[in-house]
Amino acid sequence: MSGRPGTAGAAEAPPAAGAPDAPAAQAIEAELTWTGESFEPGMRVEVGADGRIAAVGRAGAGAGAPDGSGAPSTLRLPGRALLPGFVDAHSHAFQRGLRGRAETFPPAPAAGERGGGSFWSWREAMYALAGGLDRERFHALSLAAFEEMRAAGITAVGEFHYLHHDDPEAADWALDRVVLDAAREAGIRIVLLQACYRAGGFGRALETAQRRFRAPSLAAYWAQLDRLAGALDPATQSLGAVAHSVRAVPVGEIAALHAEARRRGLVFHLHVEEQRREVEDCLAVHGERPMALLLRELAIGPETTAVHCTHSEPGDLERFAAAGGGVCVCPLTEANLGDGIPPLAAVPAAAGRLCLGTDSNARISMLEEMRWLEYGQRLAGERRGVLADRRGRVAGRLLTAATAGGARALGLAAGVIAAGRWADFAAVDLGHPALADASADDLAPALVFGAGDATFAATCVGGRWREHRGGAVEPRPSPVAAAP
Ligand SMILES: [Zn+2]
């Protein structure tokens, strides 16, 4: 199909012709459709049997069937607004198992001043979880996270996966396929961001729990990536390469991983500067901050996404964004862990390269991630509209981060309602009380700043729809008679 957007994640392909579970061709006419700029009435989105969008135009404009086989069934969605499904660019699904835990804290070091918990004390709880999970529990937690994502309007996830081994001594990589299986069961599109984890800190051996994360060598890492490539569902699954962080992978190996990822056409992600201690440790060992080190050692381009950048120097972040790098912010997790707030106000170039992640999945809501991305900047800077676009609008910029920005970071042909992209959608219930009185012009900010996930009536991945509990009000988005 010509004109299809680039797929740096590679390994994407339509299902084989005649596949038994291929989605039916359909044309979708929602009351409102998000164009990337605004919600418009009277749009028709045609979806082919390959699960991709075939054409987008005005309803009643005489568009033909997407596959030339006659008129597709028309899915009329009065009372619904059609959005591209959200793309969650950074998740650790198993950490769903910490929800409601790790929220009791030791006495403050100085009473009345500050809490006694920190990222590092949370990490101990996460290690205890990671060390104790068996395959069944790991699967159940992953499935629960992915199911919850769909109900929150998320149709694609970048799963930053580092808990690889069922048997840490054998380094069996047994949990990798469990993640893919759970995603398939939830019907969510996944980019398995396969993480390389090599050290327990700068120059330190792996600790006990970390041995379940380890790549015995870079060669073993790439050999496993090759095995995984052969196990993917090509319609919904692809791969990306990951160095966990500068503390978990020596910088020379990060550079080698990054170069090989580029050679293979894979996206490349890593955690960068989430915690001050990580920055201080890196300065002590390398004499440079992590981002500065990466800019010197790696040929950064659009394939690279830095996750967090909470404590990045604005100048470093500026250079990173100017080189094409993307920034993934995870506001709810960063708030939960007490990380801090990234300096986006000072770096407009980074604000244009944003995507969002649910990270620890203590709460799974892209609407909340969006609003707290802006709210964090407002609280830090004591002003409003920090992430506004050229027209002064914030909601559109936030929706772009949650859709097209995530798709770009994951190398997915998704995140935009346009021909050639995957038919991944979220259908918003315009009859929900939270959206009452919102005009088409108000809808984006009303959704982002005023609504919850119960406004999502249904989601669609690759042309296959699923209704959600919040959408149990008429009309239901099920196919109706063919268009006249
Ligand atoms: Zn993370």
Residue 480 has pLDDT above 80, yes or no: no
Average pLDDT over residues 355-360: 98
Res. 469 pLDDT band, cuts 50 70 90? low
Q: Among the listed ranges 19-33, 60-74, 145-159, which one has the minimum average pLDDT value? A: 60-74
Concerning whether 88 is annotated as a catalytic residue, the answer is no
Q: Is 420 helix (H, G, I), strand (E, B) or coil?
A: coil
Concerning whether 308 is annotated as a catalytic residue, the answer is yes
- Cα of 85 vs centre of ligand 1, distance in Å, is 21
- Dist CA 190 CA 406 (whole Å): 12
pLDDT in tens, 222-260: 999 999 999 999 999 999 999 999 999 999 999 999 999
Active-site residue (options: 50, 316, 339, 359): 359
Distances (CA, A) of 132 to 107, 167, 313: 27, 11, 37
Residue 103 has pLDDT above 80, yes or no: yes
Cα dihedral across residues 437, 443, 445, 448: positive or negative:
positive
Residue 184 has pLDDT above 60, yes or no: yes
Q: For the whole model, what pTM was predicted?
A: 0.91
Residue position matching structure tokens 């500026």 = 318
For position 175, what pLDDT does the model report?
97
Res. 22 pLDDT band, cuts 50 70 90? low
The most confident of the ranges 20-34, 56-70, 79-93, 107-121 is 79-93
In the structure encoding, which two tokens stand for residue 434, read together?
Answer: 């939270």
Active-site residue (options: 92, 164, 258, 308): 308
Name the residue among 276, 261, 161 with its Cα closest to residue 218.
261
Q: Provide the 10 A C-beta neighbour count for residue 111.
A: 8
- Cα of 91 vs centre of ligand 1, distance in Å, is 6
In the structure encoding, which two tokens stand for residue 296, read together?
Answer: 């010197």
pLDDT in tens, 284-326: 999 999 999 999 999 999 999 999 999 999 999 999 999 999 9
- Cα of 470 vs centre of ligand 1, distance in Å, is 28
- Cα of 246 vs centre of ligand 1, distance in Å, is 13
Report every protein residue that has its C-beta within 5 angstroms of ion ligand 1.
359
- Cα of 359 vs centre of ligand 1, distance in Å, is 5
- Cα of 360 vs centre of ligand 1, distance in Å, is 7
Residues 6+ apart with CB under 8 A from 483: 27, 71, 74
pLDDT in tens, 423-444: 999 999 999 999 998 999 999 9
